[in-house]
């Protein structure tokens, strides 16, 4: 029951307010658009798209920010605060933090050259967070295709959603710690992942030396690191997927994902259309609506908390 017209009378300019703050942030940090898209994903997979990821620790809240998939990894919370401030100035008490994440994700993709879509709105904010679910339900880069598909299907997303949404790795960065095993000791073999292109492997080994700084960043898309395009999928065809969970979408023989990767690599328009509809599907994961939840006045805290 989300709706594209939800704020039409109560906050008609909310989309452009969000977009302007995101654009401002992008001008000093090109990576931030990727980080904001990821925040929406990490919110929606835990209790649904309810802003739960934005809550800080408090006497009543155990923050999802300390869960493994987010700690020292999820970023952009300061930009969400700036968006919230700008939106509150125009329309006090009206727009939820959960909807701000949905709008920021769409603006971010658009500003990086990707597709646009009509964002469905009307989500309300949770009064709880669940770091345990974040630890168990979020996909990790070492998951097999089977596990990735299962984790997506657990929240109502299918294999096309999995491949399309993984295309978000067309921009943004990953720390070395998520790829080191592929570079030096893949599944205990003492050798690199055989599905890694040899030249790309050398580049990654140089950027992520054994015993080096595990927080060093790598572009998720080595070809167009800040542009939202379909290069992610042609990279997979060239054995240049950064994460194991990326490359196995193409390199797992017999997997349903292979032909989807090929179709997205062959036609950017098909990818853009699928990505947009899968973002809408993801945005529909168990939202709080009506009188459930609340509209937080500060995205980091429950009201009165
Ligand atoms: C399919 C399972 C997925 C896995 C295993 C996965 C895993 C990861 C990992 C390990 C990182 C690097 C984090 C770091 O270095 O701190 C990352 C970054 C990122 N992920 Fe995913 N991801 C998945 C799906 C998605 C989806 C569905 C989206 C969005 C629709 C997404 C968007 C991003 C973006 C944009 C970044 C870069 C963020 C930045 O630079 O701040 N990922 N992902
Ligand atoms: Ca959530
Ligand atoms: Ca790209």
pLDDT per position as a tens digit, 123-164: 999 999 999 999 999 999 999 999 999 999 999 999 999 999
Q: Is the CB of 140 under 6 A from ligand 1?
A: yes
Residues 6+ apart with CB under 8 A from 268: 229, 230
> 181 CB contacts (<8 Å, ≥6 apart)?
142, 187, 193, 244
Contact (Cβ atoms closer than 8 angstroms) between residue 140 and residue 243? no
Confidence of residue 232 (pLDDT cuts 50, 70, 90): very high
Q: What is the DSSP letter of 90?
A: H
> Is residue 110 pLDDT above 90, yes or no?
yes
| pLDDT at residue number 305 | 80
For residue 253, what are the contacts with CB-CB under 8 A and spacing of at least 6? Answer: none
Residue 123 main-chain phi, psi, to 5 deg: -70, 150
Candidates 35, 75, 66, 44; CA nearest to 135 is: 66
Query: Per residue in 84-107, pLDDT tens?
Result: 999 999 999 999 999 999 999 999
CA 114-119-121 angle, to 5 degrees, is 155
Query: Active-site residue numbers?
Result: 42
Q: Is the beta carbon of 141 within 6 A of some atom in ligand 1?
A: yes
> Based on C-alpha coordinates, what's the Rg of the chain?
19
Reported confidence tier of residue 295, pLDDT bands at 50, 70, 90: very high
**Residue 173, H or E segment:** strand 173-175
| CA–CA dist 251, 260 (Å, integer) | 12
Atom of ligand 1 nearest to the CA of 245: 5
Mean pLDDT of the chain: 98
Angle between helices 97-111 and 14-28 (to 10 degrees): 60
Q: Is the CB–ligand 1 distance for residue 173 below 6 Å?
A: yes
SS3 88: helix
Q: How far apart are CA 95 and CA 270, in angstroms?
A: 32
Question: What is the distance in A from the centroid of ligand 1 to the CA of 18?
Answer: 22
Rounded-to-integer distance, Cα 91 and Cα 219, Å: 38
For residue 35 and ligand 1, the question of a CB distance below 6 A is answered with yes
Residue 232: partners with Cβ closer than 8 Å, 6 or more residues away:
166, 167, 169, 170, 220, 221, 241, 246
Q: Which ligand is nearest to the CA of 31?
A: 1
Determine phi and psi for 245, rounding to 5 degrees.
-65, -25
Q: Is the distance from CB of 251 to CB of 145 less than 8 angstroms?
A: no
What span, in angstroms and rounded, lies between the C-alpha atoms of 108 and 300? 21
Q: What is the DSSP string of 208-267?
A: S-TTS-TT-EEESSSSSTTS-SSHHHHHHHTT--SSHHHHHHHHSTT-THHHHHHHHHH-
Alpha carbon of 196 to those of 178, 184, 199, 225: distances in Å?
Answer: 15, 11, 9, 18
pLDDT digits (tens, 9 = 90+) for 28-68: 999 999 999 999 999 999 999 999 999 999 999 999 999 99
Query: ipTM above 0.90?
Result: yes
Q: For residue 211, how far is its CA from the centre of ligand 2 (angstroms)?
A: 35
Q: What are phi and psi of 288, to 5 degrees?
A: -85, 130
């Amino acid at each position: 029951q989300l709706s594209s017209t939800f704020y039409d009378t109560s906050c008609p300019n909310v989309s452009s307010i969000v977009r302007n703050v995101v654009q401002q942030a992008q001008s000093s940090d090109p990576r931030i658009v990727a980080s904001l898209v990821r925040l929406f994903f990490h919110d929606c997979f835990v209790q649904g798209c309810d802003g739960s990821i934005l809550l800080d620790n408090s006497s009543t809240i155990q923050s999802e920010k300390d869960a493994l998939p987010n700690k020292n990894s999820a970023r952009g919370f300061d930009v969400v605060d700036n968006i919230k401030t700008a939106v509150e100035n125009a329309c006090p008490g009206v727009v939820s933090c959960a909807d701000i994440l949905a709008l920021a994700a769409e603006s971010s993709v658009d500003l990086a050259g990707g597709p646009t879509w009509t964002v469905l709105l009307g989500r309300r904010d949770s009064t709880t967070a669940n770091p345990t679910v974040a630890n168990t339900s979020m996909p990790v880069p070492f998951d097999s295709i089977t596990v990735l598909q299962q984790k997506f299907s657990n929240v109502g997303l299918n294999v096309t959603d999995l491949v399309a949404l993984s295309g978000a790795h067309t921009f943004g960065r990953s720390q070395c710690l998520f790829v080191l095993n592929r570079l030096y000791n893949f599944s205990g073999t003492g050798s690199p992942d055989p599905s890694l292109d040899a030249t790309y492997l050398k580049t990654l080994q140089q950027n992520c030396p054994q015993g080096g700084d595990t927080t060093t960043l790598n572009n998720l898309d080595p070809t167009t690191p800040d542009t939202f395009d379909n290069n992610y999928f042609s990279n997979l065809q060239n054995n240049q997927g950064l994460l194991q969970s990326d490359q196995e979408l193409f390199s797992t023989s017999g997997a349903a994902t292979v032909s989807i990767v090929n179709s997205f690599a062959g036609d950017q328009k098909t990818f853009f259309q699928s990505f947009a509809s899968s973002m809408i599907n993801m945005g529909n994961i168990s939202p709080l609506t009506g009188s459930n939840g609340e509209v937080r006045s500060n995205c980091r805290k429950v009201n009165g908390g």
